[in-house]
């Protein structure tokens, strides 16, 4: 089969790879019908990966069709159209069965496409372990593109907004308007935010946030504008979706006393000088971490089915898998309106 394989910084190749095989009677083999590039995939693309492996298949966001199942798989059959959460668990412990795969009690949690341990999904086919819990049928009323966005990006955006304690009437800022940040803006409004400030250096992305009803600001003007609008009080909730020290620092400067900062940007700094004294004095809540995708689906599925959330609007490109290297370069450049890059086998 063909797959996108990682060989070093900015070296993604579309080339042959062994077909996936069942490794357990609980596995399933999925033919990929759509996959996408996540912002966190760029860390690997830049050479700052999560392992020393090379030659492995990348990617963790995909939908597809079941082509083979192991003898112990009971919920799926060949021909089923399915979506997979970006990370998997053992599928048998209490945490995994509750959808909290990043707290797997048998330490079997893993993410596709970070190393050769669990090959990625930017390929013509891939293996899903513990398939009865690590893949679900695409729900009625959900398109393939919508399902693809729900495999990680939309769930992470919702998780970030939920972790920010957004309630009806809240004032909110979202820092970083990639696909996840833009969907966090939409999530904040669905949760009842009174006002959302959307902050990013790229004008085209600010314009998309403004279309959703946000007050779009560049990073340079954000703090002064928020202070002016709130008469110095600042904001109840901030979602940081970048992962840089500077944007985390901006989040902490925008937050009001007893407010909540939610950081979902993948961290690119090993050490950050957290302002403990200021946070203590202001009574801040600070949350940081990754989303367990299945935990968010019960809330998200009806919101997408009803049209209250429309994650597909942030797909900017549909390209063949064979142009995957070009898609990574375009996504990395943030040019030509590049947002969510969807690849088809």
Q: Residue 44 and residue 9: Cα distance in Å, rounded?
A: 7
Q: Residue 155 and residue 84: Cα distance in Å, rounded?
A: 12
- Whether 49 has a pLDDT exceeding 80, the answer reads no
- Whether 209 has a pLDDT exceeding 80, the answer reads yes
Mean pLDDT of 296-305: 98
Q: What pLDDT is attached to residue 189?
A: 98
- Whether 265 has a pLDDT exceeding 90, the answer reads yes
Q: What pLDDT, in 10s, does the model give residues 123-159?
A: 999 999 999 999 999 999 999 999 999 999 999 999 9
Assign 335 a pLDDT band (cuts: 50, 70, 90): confident
Mean pLDDT of the chain: 96
- Whether 274 has a pLDDT exceeding 80, the answer reads yes
Q: At what angle do helices 153-163 and 179-190 cross, to 10 degrees?
A: 50
Q: What pLDDT is attached to residue 93?
A: 97
Mean pLDDT of 62-77: 98
Mean pLDDT of 318-341: 95
Q: What pLDDT is attached to residue 116?
A: 94
Q: What pLDDT, in 10s, does the model give residues 217-264?
A: 999 999 999 999 999 999 999 999 999 999 999 999 999 999 999 999
Assign 51 a pLDDT band (cuts: 50, 70, 90): confident
Q: Which domains does the chain have, with CATH numbers?
A: 2-152+292-344 (3.90.180.10), 157-288 (3.40.50.720)
Q: At what angle do helices 179-190 and 203-211 cross, to 10 degrees?
A: 20
Percent of the chain with pLDDT over 70: 99
Mean pLDDT of 67-92: 97
Assign 272 a pLDDT band (cuts: 50, 70, 90): confident
pTM for this predicted structure: 0.96
Residue 335: phi and psi, rounded to 5, are -105, 170
Task: Please calculate the CA angle 32-34-38 and round it to the nearest 5 degrees.
Answer: 115
Residues in Cβ contact with 54 at an 8 Å cutoff, skipping those fewer than 6 apart: 6, 7, 8
Q: What pLDDT is attached to residue 270?
A: 74
Task: Please calculate the CA angle 177-110-8 and round it to the nearest 5 degrees.
Answer: 65
Q: Residue 234 and residue 207: Cα distance in Å, rounded?
A: 23
Query: What residues form DSSP beta bridges with 289?
Result: none
Mean pLDDT of 173-179: 98
Assign 271 a pLDDT band (cuts: 50, 70, 90): confident
């Amino acid at each position: 089969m063909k797959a996108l394989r990682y060989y070093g910084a900015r070296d993604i190749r579309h080339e042959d790879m062994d077909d996936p095989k069942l490794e357990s009677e609980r596995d399933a083999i999925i033919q990929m019908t759509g996959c996408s590039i996540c912002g966190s995939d760029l860390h690997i693309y830049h050479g700052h990966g999560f392992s020393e492996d090379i030659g492995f298949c990348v990617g963790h966001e995909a939908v597809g069709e079941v082509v083979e199942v192991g003898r112990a798989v009971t919920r799926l059959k060949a021909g089923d159209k399915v979506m997979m959460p970006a990370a998997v668990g053992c599928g048998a412990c209490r945490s995994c069965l509750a959808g909290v795969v990043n707290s797997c009690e048998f330490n079997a949690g893993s993410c596709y496409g970070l190393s050769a341990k669990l090959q990625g999904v930017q390929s013509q086919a891939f293996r899903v372990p513990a398939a009865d819990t690590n893949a679900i049928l695409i729900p009625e009323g959900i398109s393939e593109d919508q399902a693809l966005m729900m495999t990680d990006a939309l769930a992470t955006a919702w998780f970030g907004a939920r972790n920010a304690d957004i309630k009806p009437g809240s004032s909110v800022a979202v820092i970083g308007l990639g696909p996840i940040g833009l969907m966090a803006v939409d999530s904040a409004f669905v949760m009842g935010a009174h006002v959302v400030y959307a902050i990013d250096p790229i004008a085209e992305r600010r314009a998309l946030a403004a279309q959703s009803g946000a007050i779009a600001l560049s990073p340079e003007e954000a703090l002064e504008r928020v202070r002016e609008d709130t008469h110095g009080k600042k904001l109840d909730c901030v979602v940081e979706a970048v992962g840089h020290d500077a944007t985390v620092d901006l989040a902490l400067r925008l937050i009001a006393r007893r407010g909540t900062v939610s950081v979902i940007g993948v961290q690119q700094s090993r050490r950050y000088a957290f302002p403990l004294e200021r946070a203590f004095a202001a009574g801040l809540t600070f949350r940081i971490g990754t989303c367990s995708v299945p935990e968010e689906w019960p809330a998200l599925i009806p919101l997408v089915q009803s049209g209250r959330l429309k994650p597909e609007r942030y797909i900017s490109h549909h390209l063949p898998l064979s142009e995957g290297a070009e898609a990574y370069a375009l996504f990395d450049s943030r040019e030509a309106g590049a947002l969510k890059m969807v690849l088809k086998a």
